[in-house]
Structure formats: C-alpha cells, structure tokens
Amino acid sequence: MRHPHVLSTLLAGAVFLSGCAEKSADETVERAFQDVNVIDDANLNDVMLTVADPNEAVIYFQRVLKEEPGKIEHNRGLALSLMRAKRYDEGAAAWERTVALPARTDADRVELADALIRSGNWAKAEQTLTSIPPTHETFARYRLEAIIADSKQQWEKADSFYETAVGLTTEPAPVLNNWGYSKLTRGAYKDAERLFTSAITQDAGLFTAKNNLVLARGAQRNYTLPVIPMDQAERAQLLHTLALSAIKQGDVETGKGLLREAIDTHPQHFEAASRSLAALEG
C-alpha cells in the first residue's frame, strides 16, 4: 500500500537532485568561462602593451575601461600605451588616475614621476618621487632621481644616483650614456669619455653613446676617432660630428679635412657633410 507513495518520493528526489546537478554544472561552466576570460584579458593586455601599435592599444584600453573603470590593470595599460605613443600629457593624466586607485603601488608612482618629467612638470615629478618611501629602491626610481638632480645642477647627488642606478640594472648602457652626457655638460670631458666608452662596451649598437664619445674627444681637441665598433656609415657620421666640433672650436682646416674624409667614407651620398663643406669653401 505504501509503494506508490515511496516511488513518488523517490522520483521527486531524483528530479530535485537532477536539478541540483544541472545547476551545479552550469555554475561550474560559468566559473570556468570567467577564469578563461581573466586569462584572456591578461594575455590581451600583454599583447597590447608589447606588439600592438601604441595608438591602437590606447583605443583598446579606453574601451575596456568604460566597462571596468576601477580595474587598475586597465588603467596601467592605458597610461603605458599613452606613453608609448609619446602622448606625454595624456599619459601623465592617466598615471594620476592610476595612482589614485587603492591598488596602486610605489612602482606606479615612479611611472607617474617619469611621465611628469616627459611632460615638463619637473616640480611635481620631484614631489612624487619624494613621496615614495626610501625602501623602494629600484633602477627606475634612481634613474629619475639622477635626472632631476642633474636638472638642478646638484652634481654630487646626480653622480650618487647614477652610480646606484647602474648597480641596479643588467642593461646599464643607456644610464651610463646619460651620466656621461651629464659630465659632458659640466665640462668634465675625461670622465664623460670614460662613461661613454663603458656604455659602448655594454651595448656596441648604442650609436648615441658613440656620437657623444666623439663630442667629448672633440671638446679636448682630439680629432681622431676612438677604437670602437662601427660600420662604414657610422664611421662617416662620427667623422662629420668630429668635423663640426673642430670647426666650432676654430680649427676650420682640420674640420674641412674631416668633412672630406666623411664624404669619401660614406657608402652613399652624404648630403649633410657635402653641404657643410660647400658652405665652408663657398
């Protein structure tokens, strides 16, 4: 007599369990898709920050920020993309918004200081760096500290910051070049020459350091090219720089000779050197 009732109860339980199972499966699938979306977002952000055209990346991050305005990864992405696109004023404003978020880091504030320097707001950049705890010791931070000290002609501080920055990176060539240029502007030509040579030793392809090295030698009336790696076109360019340095210091005949050598050395027609020589001889 009780069997029909028991059967109905079992069937109801089976339907209920089936419904729970379906709901649980749906939730599992939904969570899985959410996890995939998080991974895809992270990967896409990385792609946009590395291989994408900077202005395309700006458009992408502006779009995703409309959907999630408080997400710090998207704010960072927009700020970095604007800086890559050389839109420095907009980049500084984007970094300001980023550091206003609760999840901001000291590294974000260093990026803000960099953006402020590039947009010409040196005073605010210095204030931003000062607000960062001294325990945040990174290459990026000390490089900016050195640049700001340089701008204020605080040479001892600049040298100390440059030295610290060099010790905190595995790729010191650019900062060695900056340090050398600082010495060059002070008239410390021997020190500048040493630092430019060190930069080239670290990165033989850094043409700016090669050109600066020639300027440092020319300032000492040393008009011979240094023994450094260079191709034929680079050799011609460096001879041209050396020629202009000689002419600027009144060694005009030496400059003419260097210009002729530059023209003969260049694998193609060297318009700039030809024009300079024609102006001198005209």
pLDDT by 10s per residue, the chain, length 282: 444 444 444 344 444 444 444 445 555 444 443 444 444 555 777 778 876 789 999 999 999 999 999 999 999 999 999 999 999 999 999 999 999 999 999 999 999 999 999 999 999 999 999 999 999 999 999 999 999 999 999 999 999 999 999 999 999 999 999 999 999 999 999 999 999 999 999 999 999 999 999 999 999 999 999 999 999 999 999 999 999 999 999 999 999 999 999 999 999 999 999 999 999 988
Cα(111)–Cα(96) distance, integer angstroms: 10
Cβ count within 10 A of residue 14: 10
Class of domain 15-120: mainly alpha
Tokens 């030295």 found at: 163
Read off the tokens for 128: 């931003």
The pTM (predicted TM-score) of the whole model is 0.79
Beta carbons within 8 Å of 60's beta carbon, 6+ residues apart: 44, 48, 52, 77, 81
What pLDDT, on a 0 to 100 scale, did the predictor assign at position 191?
A: 97
Cα(236)–Cα(232) distance, integer angstroms: 6
